[in-house]
Amino acid sequence: MASYPSTRLRRLRQTDWTRRLVREHTLTPDDLIWTVIVSDRADPTEAVPSMPGVERLNVAKAAKSAVRARALGIPAIAIFPNIDPSLKDDQGSKADDPDGLVANCIKAMKDAAPEVGIICDVALDPFTNHGHDGILENGEILNDPTIERLIEQALMQAEAGCDVIAPSDMMDGRVGALRTALDEEGFESVLILSYAAKYASAFYGPYRDAIGSSTALQGDKKTYQMDPANTDEALREVALDIDEGADMVMVKPGMPYLDIVARVKAEFEMPTYAFQVSGEYAMIKAAEANGWIDGERAMMESLLAFKRAGADGILTYFAPWAAEILNG
């Protein structure tokens, strides 16, 4: 192997043009999925204190965000609902409400900017008064009965015009059950983006504030979300979801799990996404607000890191700001 002094790696770093010429990875607006919090009470926007810069949007504002995404070249938006507590119950009965917030947002957004993909979470937590993603009985989350409810939720979303169903619940077997149900109802073109390797993480804290499930959550989600100590298990989760019909797979959270992103991409060569979650966003914004880091540079560096690790795209609350910078 060539060595110093004939080899000097700094030669290629000395000017902007050489750095650009040898750059291995790039970030473009095409890589971004904008995560948007919607609310049935926002008036018309409402700040999320633990996520500076992020607002809960009402339906009309959500439609405007789709128009903004189109203008910025962001391919898709993922919506997450903050539901009025009076509409929550222990079964998550409103999760498949065809006249509810999610259905109304999907329709308004597809009307306003049909070219922008709409992605919806499939999980009961925004709708349950206990804050869990599934049906809770005697302290246990019931797998198969939860899947039945997820199917009803997903069919409502597809009916409203959702392009991508994204199960984030981590029940076993839900991807296959959703694929079968969607196909049976004539939604064979609706995509499935599986939260395949989703960890029981402290980094979801600000999100649970944003959707109003943090005060509600009883206990933790460790019986269905993955143990942060595991990597082989992530590959098994991803393999099952691909087998069951997932079109795209996701690793979540993002930056603390780049090793998982890299392994999943290398092993399966599937469209692979990483979710830069609420806590990751909050950390960068908090450090920026304190003057401890350059927030803009940290944002762009964190997003590029996902590409370097092998992600095809990133779900991120930073999407519109990053796209503005990328568009010059």
Write out the residues near ligand PBG by the rule CB under 6 A. Answer: 121, 123, 125, 133, 168-169, 204, 207-208, 221, 277-278
In the bound state with ligand PBG, the residue whose beta carbon lies nearer, of 131 and 310, is 131
Taking the complex as a whole, the smallest distance from the CB of residue 65 to ligand PBG amounts, in Å, to: 16
Which residue matches tokens 């803009």? 296
Among 223, 270, 220, smallest CA distance to 244 is for: 270
In the complex, minimum distance from the CB of residue 21 to ligand PBG, in angstroms, rounded to a whole number? 36
Which residue number places its CB atom closest to ligand PBG?
207
The CB-of-98 to ligand PBG minimum distance in angstroms stands at 21
3 state SS of 139: coil
Cα atoms found within 13 Å of the Cα of residue 14, Cβ hemisphere only: 5
Provide the minimum distance between the beta carbon of 18 and ligand PBG in the complex, in angstroms, as a whole number: 38
73 φψ region: left (φ > 0), alpha (ψ -120 to 50), beta (else): left
**CB of residue 188 vs ligand PBG: minimum separation in angstroms?**
25
207 or 306: CB nearest ligand PBG: 207
- DSSP code string of 171-219: -TTHHHHHHHHHHHTT-TT-EEEEEEEEB--GGGHHHHHHTT-TTT--S
Nearer to ligand PBG, 133 or 244 (CB): 133
- For ligand PBG, the closer of residues 189 and 215 by Cβ is 215
CA 124 to CA 134: how far, in whole Å? 6
Tokens of 213: 């499930």
Smallest Cα–Cα separation from 71: which of 325, 324, 328? Answer: 324
Outline where DSSP puts E strands in 40-105. Answer: 45-47, 55-57, 76-82
Instruction: Dig out the tokens for 113 from the structure.
Output: 């900017």
SS3 161: coil
Q: Are 192 and 268 in contact (CB under 8 A)?
A: no
Phi, psi of 195 (to 5 degrees): -75, 85
Pick the catalytic residue: 94, 198, 265, 285? 198
Question: Is 307 part of the annotated catalytic residue set?
Answer: no
Considering the complex, state which of residue 121 and residue 163 has its C-beta at the smaller distance from ligand PBG: 121
Long-range (24+ apart) CB contacts under 8 A made by 284-292 are: 285/51, 285/52, 285/53, 286/52, 289/52
Single-letter residue type at 277 = V
94, 252, 265, 307: the catalytic one is: 252
Q: Specify whether 94 is catalytic.
A: no
Output the smallest distance, CB 131 to ligand PBG, in A.
8
Residue 272 or 316 with smaller CB distance to ligand PBG: 316
Give the residue numbers marked as catalytic. 198, 252
